[in-house]
Structure 1
Amino acid sequence: MSDLSLLADIGGTNTRVALSRGGKVVHGSVRHYPNDQFAALEPVLHRYLEETGTATPAAACLAMAGPVRDGVGAMTNLDWTIDSHVLAAATGAGMVTLLNDLQAQGHALGHIPSSALDPVIPGTPPQLDATQLVVGIGTGFNAAPVFQTPAGRFVPPAETGHTGLPLRSERDMRLGAFLERAHGFPSVEDALSGRGLVALHQFLCAEAGEPGKAVLKGKEIMAEVARGDARAVETAALFSRLLGAVVGDLALTMLPFGGIFLIGGVARAMAPYLVGGGFVEALRDKGRFGTFLQQFPVTVVSDDDAALTGMALHIQTLLTLG
């Protein structure tokens, strides 16, 4: 058995696999695998271990986009079930721990290079022991608080993306009905994710009486935003406003004086358009608590492998504790 730990960040679209030693990701060990080419996670890990010639790892830490209970989780946007006991047998690792994806991101905060931190709402340096909030926006949506405790960092699991989307205006209500017809319930993730961006564009095309134009994928919409297409720009603004409203609600719930961190591929793509799209105004549009919300800085994390950093730190802590 080697002194290496195996890490896997299992998203809705891709799985990132890497090795860690001493709480740090081994340089050059990260590889990406498209999930649609595999029937389950085990073959992904087998291929990685074979391709890298890695001996049996001492431990494994895996983070998945979905709820985890008693070491077992079902992916939210992928037909995979992840079982830590099955993975222990498949990899031979002496210790296997399974996290929700936002837990891994939360463990990475404070260990991400400053060059990968892009401020949306600048603020004073956070208190080291203050609560932080990490918000993941990619194939799906999730958010989780990060607590500093005398026993160490604690990041509870959450499935925030499946709560109700805040709807206030008449157009919001029509959007809610539009999403409900497609999904049975207008959740946050239905609007604020990769497929959510597509849904917002479809909704605005339908509102304009041009449903036939709603055929673009998420990346195509963002390309149209960059080119200044009016409908795409309107889509980005609607996304920004809804995201601001959701993040403002979460900020009041968690009081993250240590800062709010937006992470994930869609967060990175939307970053240049958040301020101009109404994100800040919507975040603070909470009546008499609007001024109070000015205390929370917001940062976009551009490090695509931050979850691996968090997992490396977390598994090292567990190994140290024995």
Structure 2
Amino acid sequence: MPGLSLVADVGGTNSRIALAEDSVLRPDTIRRFPNAEFAGIETVIARYLDELGVRIDAACLAVAGPVSNGVAHLTNRDWTIDGARIAAATGAARVMVLNDLQAQGFALPHVAAEALRTVVPGRPAPVGAPRMVVGVGTGLNVAAVHYASGGVVVPPAEAGHITLPVQTAEDLRLADYLTTHHGVAKAEEALSGRGISALHGFLTGTPKPSDQIIPAIGTDPEATETARLFLRLLATFVGDMALVHLPTGGIALCGGMARAFTPHFEPLGFRKAFLDKGDFAALLESMPVQVLEDDYAALIGCAAAIR
């Protein structure tokens, strides 16, 4: 087991870095860095290690983008994160590079119970049952979480880039709108921060940024209808993914958009749309759905992955 490890959550806008001691996160070491001020993640890490005056034995980075053979490419910034280069720059004997949703999956067994807010009750989970984490923020993704004799297994995925589910005539019109204005009708174009703006544009003809729409939910009819459509589509997407992965141990929604919509899940019909699967409604009803409210879960997951 490594002694002192660096853990990082690397997004398109910011990187959050911390230390883990014997694979346990040290919250007092968490720092946030704006990526625009740096040429790459190696310079961010160098600044962090210099400020704290430490040397590390291992590192694990959660990256908002696809990962292959220890190399990741940020989806929303022109950065490449290469585990071998980070090892050479830091002297770490072991470096892991994960997709950010994988890190969230590794975190699930370790986050505090009070950090999970229930939006669909479900039933008590069987011991060792698989789980699923859905990231709804700047982008959209899904990761399955399996428990095996050797520990937790979280396969990578890029599920946000699948085609948006279409069930109704309104959905078909939305798919045409997204194709016309955004080039492709994939799930992430509707179910993300920019997706809220796109849905508002579809409904009203005038897209607004999400930070103007979300505070007006419940008081402004257009914002409320945008939120209702967003939650119906999200519930359909999450239900589809649940039937793929069968997470009888429960589903955790994470990310800034999931947290922002938490008060609106019940009044705007998320549960009803989630269970709208015909003969399989009872199966989905058994799966608890919760919102993960710990903003540092990816760092906890990186520490767990090292262990």
For normalisation by structure 2, the TM-score amounts to 0.96
SS at match of 1:29: strand
Q: Which amino acid aligns with 2:277?
A: K
Q: Which residue of 1 aligns with 2:243?
A: 252
Q: Which residue of 2 aligns with 1:14?
A: 14
SS at match of 1:47: helix
Q: Could you tell me how far apart the structure 2 residues matched to 1:82 and 1:183 are? A: 27
Task: Answer yes or no: is the 8 Å Cα contact 1:77–1:140 preserved in 2.
Answer: no
Task: Answer yes or no: is the 8 Å Cα contact 1:88–1:96 preserved in 2.
Answer: yes
Q: Which residue of 2 aligns with 1:149?
A: 148
- Larger mean Cα displacement after TM superposition, 176-185 or 141-150: 176-185
- Larger mean Cα displacement after TM superposition, 178-187 or 261-270: 178-187
Task: Answer yes or no: is the 8 Å Cα contact 2:18–2:27 preserved in 1.
Answer: no
Q: Which residue of 1 aligns with 2:222?
A: 231
Task: Answer yes or no: is the 8 Å Cα contact 2:3–2:23 preserved in 1.
Answer: no
Q: Could you tell me how far apart the structure 2 residues matched to 1:67 and 1:278 are? A: 32
Report the CA distance between 1:67 and its aligned residue: 1.1
Gaps of 5+ in 2: none
Structure 1 residue 298 corresponds to structure 2 residue 289: yes
Report the CA distance between 1:148 and its aligned residue: 0.5
Q: Could you tell me how far apart the structure 1 residues matched to 2:258 and 2:277 are? A: 23
Q: Which residue of 2 aligns with 1:38?
A: 38
Report the CA distance between 1:299 and its aligned residue: 0.4
Gaps of 5+ in 1: 318-322
Report the CA distance between 1:51 and its aligned residue: 2.0
Q: Could you tell me how far apart the structure 1 residues matched to 2:103 and 2:138 are? A: 16
Q: Could you tell me how far apart the structure 2 residues matched to 1:57 and 1:189 are? A: 36
The correspondence of residues 134-145 of structure 1 with structure 2, limited to 5 A, is 134-145=133-144
Q: Which residue of 1 aligns with 2:90?
A: 91
Q: Could you tell me how far apart the structure 2 residues matched to 1:90 and 1:199 are? A: 41
Q: Which residue of 2 aligns with 1:24?
A: 24
- Larger mean Cα displacement after TM superposition, 260-269 or 282-291: 282-291
Q: Which residue of 1 aligns with 2:63?
A: 64
Report the CA distance between 1:202 and its aligned residue: 1.5
The correspondence of residues 140-179 of structure 1 with structure 2, limited to 5 A, is 140-179=139-178
Q: Which residue of 2 aligns with 1:320?
A: none
Structure 1 residue 217 corresponds to structure 2 residue 209: yes
Task: Answer yes or no: is the 8 Å Cα contact 1:11–1:139 preserved in 2.
Answer: no
Q: Which amino acid aligns with 2:127?
A: L
Q: Which amino acid aligns with 1:256?
A: P
Report the CA distance between 1:120 and its aligned residue: 0.3
Q: Which residue of 1 aligns with 2:3?
A: 3
Q: Could you tell me how far apart the structure 1 residues matched to 2:231 and 2:68 are? A: 33
Deviations 1:131-181 (A, max 9, x none): 100001111111011001112110000000001110121111111111112
Task: Answer yes or no: is the 8 Å Cα contact 2:135–2:255 preserved in 1.
Answer: yes
Structure 1 residue 289 corresponds to structure 2 residue 280: yes
Report the CA distance between 1:308 and its aligned residue: 0.6
Report the CA distance between 1:295 and its aligned residue: 0.8
Using the aligned pairs only, state the percent identity.
49
Q: Could you tell me how far apart the structure 2 residues matched to 1:276 and 1:259 are? A: 21
Q: Could you tell me how far apart the structure 2 residues matched to 1:175 and 1:39 are? A: 38
Q: Which amino acid aligns with 2:214?
A: M
Q: Which residue of 2 aligns with 1:194?
A: 193
Deviations 1:20-70 (A, max 9, x none): 0112111311111222332321121112112222x2210000011111111
Q: Could you tell me how far apart the structure 1 residues matched to 2:234 and 2:163 are? A: 13
Task: Answer yes or no: is the 8 Å Cα contact 1:8–1:62 preserved in 2.
Answer: yes
